[in-house]
Chain A
Amino acid sequence: MALYFEDVQVGTQVTPLVKHPTTRQLVMWAGASRDFVEQHYDKDNAMDRGLPGVIVHGALKASWLGQLITDWIGTNGILKELKCRYRGIDYPGTEITCRGKVIKKYIEDGEHLIVCEIWTENSKGEQTTTGSATIALP
C-alpha cells in the first residue's frame, strides 16, 4: 500500500487508529521507553497524586499519533515533523482513537508536502492530545 501526493486533498481524513490501552501495555511502554515514572503503573502512587488510578503516558499517545501517520503513508512517505500537545488524561481500560485530517498541501524545494492536524480522542469525543504532522509524499 502506498499513498501518493495526488491521492490527498485538504480535508482528506487520515485512516483512524483505535487503541485499547491496558495497564500491561503501560508497563511494556515504561520498560521499552525507559519511563519509570510511577504514576503510570503504581496505583497507590497515582492515587497519592490525586489521580483515580494509573494514567496513560503522554509519550505513548504521541507515539500512537506517530503510528497513525506511518501506518497511513506506508513505506514511501516520510514523516518530517511531529508536534503534540498534551491536554487531557487518559486511563487504561478506555478506548482512545487517533484521528487526523489534511489541512495543507504544498510543494517546497521540490518536495511534495502535506500537513495534517492530528489528535487523540477519548470515548466522550474529547481531544486529549492534539498536534500536527508534516509529511513528504511521492
Chain B
Amino acid sequence: MEILKLTSEDIAKLKTMVGRESEPYKVEADKSMFWQLAEAIGDTNPLWQDEITAKKTQYKGIIAPPAFYISFWMNPLANGKIILPITGRRGFDAEHEWKFNAPIHPGDVITVKSKIINVLEKQGKKSGLMAFCTYETTLTNQHGVKVAVELGIQVML
C-alpha cells in the first residue's frame, strides 16, 4: 500500500466538503453491542449488561456505555459512511468531545448524521502539510430526541 503525502489540491478538495450533511444512517442499538464493548474494555458495570440490577437504577434498565458513542458504529467519518474526496493519505483522530443528553436503551433506533464544519490547513515541522478536519455528528433516537452530539477533529497528512 503506497502512502501519499497530502497536497494543497487535496486540501482544496476537502474544503468543498465543509457544511455538507452526510447521508443519515440508522443503527439499531442492541444489548449484544453493549456487552461486547464492555467485555472488550474490561468493564463490568451492571448498567451495560445486567438487566436486573440496571432496572433498579434511575435508568430503569440497561443503557449504552460511553464506548458505544465512541465506537465506529457512531462515527461516519471513521466507518466510511462519509467518503472523503482523497484517498491513500494517513489520518488520525486528534480529539473528540461527546455531549450525552439522554441515555440509549436496547432497541432504540439511532439516526446518525454528520457534517464537516471546518478544514484548517497547517504546516507541520516534520510531517509537512496537514489538514485538520472538524466534524459534528448528531445522534437522534426514534422519538426525535437528540441523545448525543459529538465534535471531533481528524487530521489528514
Contact = CB atoms under 8 A, between A and B. Distances in A.
Binding between chains A and B:
yes
Interface of A: 19, 25, 28-29, 31-35, 48-49, 58-60, 62-64, 66-67, 69-71, 75-76, 78-86, 131
B51 interface: no
Contact of A32 (B33, B54, B100): B33
Given A75-B57, A75-B58, A86-B94, A67 B41 contact: yes
B92 A82 contact: no
A109 to B, nearest CB: 13
11 contacts: A32-B37, A34-B72, A35-B78, A49-B90, A59-B96, A67-B66, A75-B57, A80-B100, A81-B98, A83-B97, A84-B96
B74 to A, nearest CB: 10
B41 A58 contact: no
Interface stretch (B9-17, B42-50, B110-118, B134-142): B42-50
Contacts of B47: 70, 75
B7 interface: no
Contacts of A81: 97-100
A60 B40 CA distance: 9
A71 B41 CA distance: 13
A79 B37 contact: no
Nearest to A67: B43
B39 interface: yes
Contacts, number: 110
Contact of B73 (A33, A84, A86): A33
Contacts of B45: 67, 70-71
A60 B41 contact: yes
A62 B43 CA distance: 13
A32 B39 contact: yes
A86 to B, nearest CB: 6
Interface in B9-44: 33, 36-37, 39-43
Contacts of B65: 63, 66-67, 70
Given A48-B1, A71-B45, A86-B94, A28 B39 contact: yes
Contacts of B95: 83-86, 131
B71 interface: yes
B66 A63 contact: yes
A60 B37 CA distance: 10
B67 A66 contact: yes
B79 interface: yes
Contacts of A82: 66, 96-98, 100
